[in-house]
Amino acid sequence: MAVKMHPDLDMLLDYSVGGLSTALSVSISAHLHFCETCRSYKAQLEDIGGTLLDEISPRDMVGPGLDGLWSMLDGATPDTDPLDSDIRDTDLRDRQAPDAVNSQNTAKSGLDSAAELRTLPALIQNLFPVKAPQWRALSPSLQVAKIPVGEQRYELALHKIKAGGKTPNHDHRGLEVTVVLQGSFSDGNGRYLPGDFLVRGPGNIHRPIASEDEECICVSVVAAPIRLLGRFSKLLNPLLSFNPE
Amino acid sequence: MIIGKPISVNTIHRKLGINKLAMNKIGVNTMIIKKVKIAVDPNRGEWSDLLVKVGEEKDKQAFSRLYTHFSPLVKGFLMKGSSFGHEQAEELVQETMIKVWRKAASFNRQKSSASTWIYTIARNSRIDWYRREARRRVDLNADDFYESADENPAYLSVVQIENKKSIQKNIKLLPREQFDVITKIYYEGRSHGEVAEELNLPLGTVKSRIRLALRKMNLQLEPLEMEG
């Protein structure tokens, strides 16, 4: 069944030239995974890039060139010091997403999550190269797992609504993009299936309800508002601003 | 080789999956390639033939021809749109061409032309460069979020090839103002919003120039249902 809701063409263009934030790029990729039409648009937009590459004035290589490339391939020794790179990666992630790193030890549902993850598009699996998503309950029927990408402007997360689960009414502080990955949900405006790409803005109050037969998993991007420091900051975070029933 | 400050060369190599043992097994060693100018008409698909050869047979001769042709183009592209100097641009070219060597087996000539495929690899390498510079999460790279979009079966490739020809023919015929907007977006790899801001043009003007340009290039785009 064809996907009904799509990103607009300008957004696909921004994606195709590499001008979108990582979080939004992930949401577009998730949509493309399900949408043949937009994949064809993206391929055509990339063809413009390929054509411009064909037509560009070449610049002579003055550095090590092909010999340098072969010796780089030849001299690469990723096996000799895996610690070096692993420490750096962890170090960086630690600084940027302490939640994700800390919860590694406390997650007891890690295996379940990993199994569940395998049914999702490879895209989503790729986003968790180190460990399974860490689900956190926002309400009895709604769970969230943040996906750290290290961006200030956008937050990326998975949302999971229990089969038949009603989420609290919520408004949007900034742009919110939701792409259904599995199952379906409805709100006042319609029913959304895997691949559907929804954009909501401030003042767009809605109350998603998952279908009765299956839990619903979505990937979402929220434009982060200016963060306030202090103990009320969480209340101002749109991802956490659902009012418990 | 130094790519970016916050990340080690070994990390780069690990990201690119360069494995010395594997490379030795298939007999890759330092070798001298003479610079030979070979005329290949991209419209006739010879570059794609070479890419397939690299993918299937790890053919170093085929790769060296691709390298000789494409690395100055990728370098030209990067230097046109970014403030990269020679050295930085060439590091990104190397990163791109290493991926071409490694990923050639995943090139599908039914789905794209060689230059489009290499363009996307260069684009992703540049995204990763900027992400490293900004010290973003480094275990995640652009290939992760771009490639998986294509997992599902392909659509009609014939349409694709016809479109590429139409783009080649018509892009040069675009009115200056449309050409400038389109090329700036592609060369610089920036969103149309950022480009509007920098050119000091209303967003609507940029959007309409994009629409007109895409129409002139005969892209097969149907209006999509929107939600907002």
Q: Considering CB atoms only, which of A6, A29, A121 is closest to B224?
A: A6
Domain contains B136: yes
Residues B89 and B134 in one domain: yes
Distances (CA, A) of B33 to A63, B53, B54, B62, B63: 14, 18, 16, 11, 10
C-beta of residue B110 within 8 angstroms of C-beta of residue B17: no
A155 contacts chain B (CB < 8 A): no
B58-61 own/partner pairs: CB under 8 Å, 24+ apart: B58/B26, B58/B28, B60/B28, B60/B31
- The tokens describing A43, both together, are 């391929």
**Cβ atoms within 10 Å, residue A236:** 15
The answer to whether ipTM exceeds 0.90 is no
Please write the tens of the pLDDT for every residue from B44-82: 589 999 999 999 999 999 999 999 999 999 999 999 988
Residues B122 and B70 in one domain: yes
Domain end, chosen from B104, B119, B153, is at: B153
Residues B89 and B166 in one domain: no
Q: Best interface-test mutation with B: which of A36, A54, A146 has the largest number of B CBs within 10 A?
A: A54
Q: Is the pLDDT of residue B17 over 50?
A: no
Residues B71 and B49 in one domain: yes
Mean residue pLDDT across chain B = 79
The highest-confidence range among A71-75, B34-38, B98-102, B137-141, by mean pLDDT, is B98-102
Angle between helices A9-17 and B176-188 (to 10 degrees): 50
Integer Rg of chain B from CA:
19
Please write the tens of the pLDDT for every residue from B193-211: 999 999 999 999 999 999 9
Domain contains B46: yes
Residues B131 and B26 in one domain: yes
Angle between helices B114-133 and A36-55 (to 10 degrees): 90
A residues 217-236 near B, CB within 8 Å?
none
Q: Write the DSSP assignment of B40-76 as a string of letters.
A: --GGGTHHHHHHHHHHHH--HHHHHHHHHHHHHHHHH
Residue B133, H or E segment: helix B114-133
Q: Considering CB atoms only, which of B98, B168, B172 is closest to A73?
A: B98
Residue-by-residue pLDDT tens, chain A, 245 positions: 678 999 999 999 999 999 999 999 999 999 998 888 898 899 999 999 999 999 999 999 999 999 999 998 887 644 433 333 333 343 333 333 334 333 433 333 444 555 666 667 666 777 776 677 888 998 889 999 988 888 888 889 999 999 988 877 766 667 889 999 999 999 888 899 999 999 987 766 678 889 888 899 999 998 865 443 444 434 444 444 333 32
DSSP symbol at A192 = E
Q: Considering CB atoms only, which of A18, A44, A88 is closest to B127?
A: A18
Q: Is A222 helix (H, G, I), strand (E, B) or coil?
A: strand
Contact check, Cβ <8 Å, B142/A18: yes
Which residue has 């992930």 as its token pair? A26
CATH number at residue B209: 1.10.10.10
Angle between helices B60-81 and B46-57 (to 10 degrees): 120
Residue A240 and residue A235: Cα distance in Å, rounded? 6
Question: Percentage of residues in chain B with pLDDT exceeding 90?
Answer: 56
Residues B199 and B130 in one domain: no
Q: Which is nearest to A8 in space by CA: A175, A230, A182?
A: A175
| Beta carbons within 8 Å of B143's beta carbon, 6+ residues apart | B99, B124
Which residue has 């990390």 as its token pair? B11
Q: Is the pLDDT of residue B12 over 90?
A: no
